[in-house]
Amino acid sequence: MKKTVLGILAGAVLTLSMASCGEKLLTPEQVQAETTAGVDAGKAAVEADVNSKCDAEFETRVTEKVLMLDQAAQDAAAEPVLSK
């Protein structure tokens, strides 16, 4: 009997302590607004990450192409020109 009463009291104390820790329940509109804000923030972060990767890959491809063309121009300039 003592253990049952102590168990009930402990449950009541736990329930009261959980209720008084300052947490509020959100309305469905607030939940939707919070969800939308989180999704928008995540979407912006993903887009920024993808754009930065795309820019870096583009820069790498352009640099490689420029270096290849420079090397081809140097090779062409180094070849002796045969006159007719």
Number of domains in the chain: 1
Number of Cβ within 10 Å of residue 73's Cβ equals 10
Total-model pTM = 0.44
- Is 65 contained in some domain? yes
- Is 75 contained in some domain? yes
CA distance 35 to 7: 38
Burial 25-45 (b: 16+ CB within 10 A, else e): eeeeeeeeeeeeeeeeeeeee
pLDDT tens per residue, range 35-65: 998 888 888 888 999 999 999 999 999 999 9
Report pLDDT for 16.
60
Report pLDDT for 84.
58
Q: What is the DSSP-derived secondary structure letter of residue 20?
A: T
**Average pLDDT for the chain:** 81
pLDDT tens per residue, range 1-30: 777 777 776 777 666 665 555 567 778 898
- Is 12 contained in some domain? no
